[in-house]
Structure 1
Amino acid sequence: MATMKQVAEQAGVSTTTVSHVINNTRVVSEDVRARVQAVIEQLRYVPSAVARSLKNDRTHTLGMMVPNNSNPYFAEVIRGIEDAAFKLGYNIILCNSYDDPGKQVAYIRVLMEKRIDGLILVSSGTDPELSRFLAGDRIPVVLVDREISGVAADFIESDHEQGGYMGAKYLLQLGHRAIACVAGPEKLLTSRERVAGYRRALDEAGVAFRPEWLLHSDFTSAGGHQAFRQLLALPRRPSAIFASNDLMAMGGICAASEAGVAIPAQLSVLGYDDIALAAYSNPPLTSIGQPKQEMGALTARILLERMLDPGLPLRRELLRPALVVRKSTAPFTG
């Protein structure tokens, strides 16, 4: 790999001049600039981002931590953030914690060592060490989707309680009264908020909550498949199931097919997130859509504003979900 010294020697200038050409920190004559740039291209010299950051105190790099980017929801949020950041001149280093609170602390330390300018964090759960680490105000942070106790940071989320309410209310409007809920992990506030919305809709309609119709699982197709199998094996099975994410709903549709239960004729299924795959499931999945692109763009913009002015008041942005009706739900026929 070529070095700045080699560029300087071949161009017949000092390393200081090469640095000024790269960083635009001093006026350099056009012929010298052209000569240096020609050698840079010839040698394929790549300036060290770390070295430049030591001089400029900026790497134009953002760190992002998510629980699992194999989940299409997070992949779509990441794309929104990456698109917005790239337009603003920033690159993203992405890390996956795989739902391990301890691993996310280790990765955040690595990101700090890379001298990132800011951090976007979708937490994998509560961890005292993470709270202590971020509470030190070492770097601008924006939290997405999940708050962290003891960490004062800008926070962006979709209204999960309202989304749960909208989903259950839609199924009630279709005439269903036996509505089960396959929720996410009980330890996650987002999961609990969606369940709270589901229960609020039932209460509002005067429909009794049945504890055996509420199951918690992880946000995976396998988790949804297992939970639907349990619900469909009950002596009195539900006529509709509200799953807390689309992957669980898709796994559940597979379980229903295996059990010989037709969707939506015998069972209505509603998901959450409205990932791109939802439109191509069989049948196409009705879902509560989260504003993923808007969330991504807003996250990048707020983080950059925080980096430019750390003294700004903290922001809390609550984005509204929307019902997307497809063919996995139908009126209750008895």
Structure 2
Amino acid sequence: MRTVEEQLQQHGMKVFICDSADDPEKEKEYLDLLVSTQVDGIIIFPVGNDFKVYNYLIDHSIPMVFVDRLVDGVTSDSVLLDNHAAIFLAVSMLAEKGHENIAFLTLPIDIPITPRLERIEGFKKAMASHKLEVREDDIHSLPRNQIQEKLARILDAENPPTAIVAGNDLVLREILSYLKKQKISIPGEVAIVSIDDVAYTEFYEPSITTIGQPIQQMGIKTAELLLNRITNSDQAPYITYRFAPELIVRSSC
């Protein structure tokens, strides 16, 4: 958001930030407000999967760019991480270190949020490519407040995972909190890799191996796309830009 704001301010544009908190109703209220305010364009981290909400913006000729997520039935410029490549990097590193029982934890997919769905699919493909079995209890999609309870069960199972991939930084926080409380050593008892390279992962003890996103480049491209749509509404075609992830090796595996 900071990068987008800096880029747009250079072109004399002011940025309003609305936080939907992953609530489709709240998102719709904000979009209605922005339309009524006659903003020049909207950058959206889409929450819902109701294409009518976003096509409403198209019908009102308001340029928009999707970030991090896609919505079926909506044609828009989009900026995302290559989620399949990200999870492949994580699984490959763990497989090369000899891990066979690898668990993947992510947030709920009852709302079809693109990174979560793509990372689950990518996890299955990455495990298969390394000829590793994906067990029924290897993939977990659940609310943040249930993650620690789930960890207690899977790590106490007869054949527990020796490595865990966190679907994002919010999941990682819950994993680290649980392991610390239970005095489970990293990577001695369980190795950890997380998608999203947030600041604390470098300074946590042990430091956490992560899959980083080129946040600044993604922000610059997002602002560029929106500016182009604002100044040249007839341009085509719409494009989905996928950015390459980066494996940042630290001490957790």
Task: State the TM-score, normalized to the length of structure 1.
Answer: 0.71
Shift of the 229–82 alpha-carbon distance from structure 1 to 2, 3 Å rule, reads farther
1:176 and 2:99 matched: yes
Q: Alpha-carbon deviations, 1:112-165, whole Å to 9, x = none?
A: 222211100001121254144234142001111111222221111110111111
1:280 and 2:203 matched: yes
Contact 1:229 1:256 in 2 (8 A): no
What is the DSSP-based 3-state SS (H/G/I as helix, E as strand, rest coil) of the residue aligned with 1:143?
A: strand
Contact 2:154 2:160 in 1 (8 A): yes
- Identify which of structures 1 and 2 has the higher relative contact order when contacts are C-alpha pairs closer than 8 Å and 6+ apart: 2
Which one of 232, 245, 248 corresponds to residue 324 of structure 1? 248
Question: Which residue is equivalent to 1:238?
Answer: 161
Question: Which residue is equivalent to 1:302?
Answer: 225
C-alpha distance in 2 between matches for 1:263 and 1:89: 48
What is the DSSP-based 3-state SS (H/G/I as helix, E as strand, rest coil) of the residue aligned with 2:17?
A: strand
Question: Which residue is equivalent to 1:161?
Answer: 84
What is the DSSP-based 3-state SS (H/G/I as helix, E as strand, rest coil) of the residue aligned with 1:98?
A: coil
**Deviation at residue 305 of structure 1 after TM alignment:** 0.8
C-alpha distance in 2 between matches for 1:132 and 1:143: 12
Question: Which residue is equivalent to 1:189?
Answer: 114
1:215 and 2:140 matched: yes
Task: State the TM-score, normalized to the length of structure 2.
Answer: 0.92
Question: Which residue is equivalent to 2:44?
Answer: 121
**Deviation at residue 225 of structure 1 after TM alignment:** 3.1
Contact 1:165 1:199 in 2 (8 A): no
Contact 2:63 2:230 in 1 (8 A): yes
Question: Which residue is equivalent to 1:144?
Answer: 67
Question: Which residue is equivalent to 1:80?
Answer: 3
Which ranges of structure 1 fall in alignment gaps of 5 or more residues?
A: 1-77, 330-334
Superposed, 1:257-276 pairs within 5 Å as 257-276=180-199
Question: Which residue is equivalent to 2:170?
Answer: 247
Question: Which residue is equivalent to 1:200?
Answer: 125
- Answer with 1 or 2: which has the greater Rg: 1
Question: Which residue is equivalent to 1:69?
Answer: none
Which one of 91, 96, 99 corresponds to residue 22 of structure 2? 99
Which ranges of structure 2 fall in alignment gaps of 5 or more residues?
A: none
C-alpha distance in 1 between matches for 2:194 and 2:69: 20
Name the aligned partner's letter for residue 298 of structure 1: K
C-alpha distance in 1 between matches for 2:158 and 2:95: 22
C-alpha distance in 1 between matches for 2:51 and 2:129: 38
C-alpha distance in 2 between matches for 1:294 and 1:102: 30
What is the DSSP-based 3-state SS (H/G/I as helix, E as strand, rest coil) of the residue aligned with 2:224?
A: helix
Deviation above 6 Å: which 4+ runs of structure 1? none
Shift of the 324–216 alpha-carbon distance from structure 1 to 2, 3 Å rule, reads same
CA-atom RMSD in angstroms: 1.6
C-alpha distance in 2 between matches for 1:178 and 1:248: 19
Name the aligned partner's letter for residue 158 of structure 1: L
Question: Which residue is equivalent to 2:235?
Answer: 312
Shift of the 246–318 alpha-carbon distance from structure 1 to 2, 3 Å rule, reads same
**Deviation at residue 276 of structure 1 after TM alignment:** 2.1
C-alpha distance in 2 between matches for 1:146 and 1:207: 29
**Deviation at residue 105 of structure 1 after TM alignment:** 1.1
Which one of 39, 42, 53 corresponds to residue 130 of structure 1? 53
C-alpha distance in 1 between matches for 2:51 and 2:241: 25
What is the DSSP-based 3-state SS (H/G/I as helix, E as strand, rest coil) of the residue aligned with 2:74?
A: coil
Q: Percent of counterpart pairs with the same letter? A: 28
What is the DSSP-based 3-state SS (H/G/I as helix, E as strand, rest coil) of the residue aligned with 1:269?
A: strand
**Deviation at residue 251 of structure 1 after TM alignment:** 1.5
C-alpha distance in 2 between matches for 1:270 and 1:259: 19
Shift of the 226–298 alpha-carbon distance from structure 1 to 2, 3 Å rule, reads farther
Contact 2:104 2:167 in 1 (8 A): yes
129-138 or 274-283: bigger deviation: 129-138
C-alpha distance in 1 between matches for 2:103 and 2:157: 11
C-alpha distance in 2 between matches for 1:324 and 1:80: 22
What is the DSSP-based 3-state SS (H/G/I as helix, E as strand, rest coil) of the residue aligned with 2:16?
A: strand
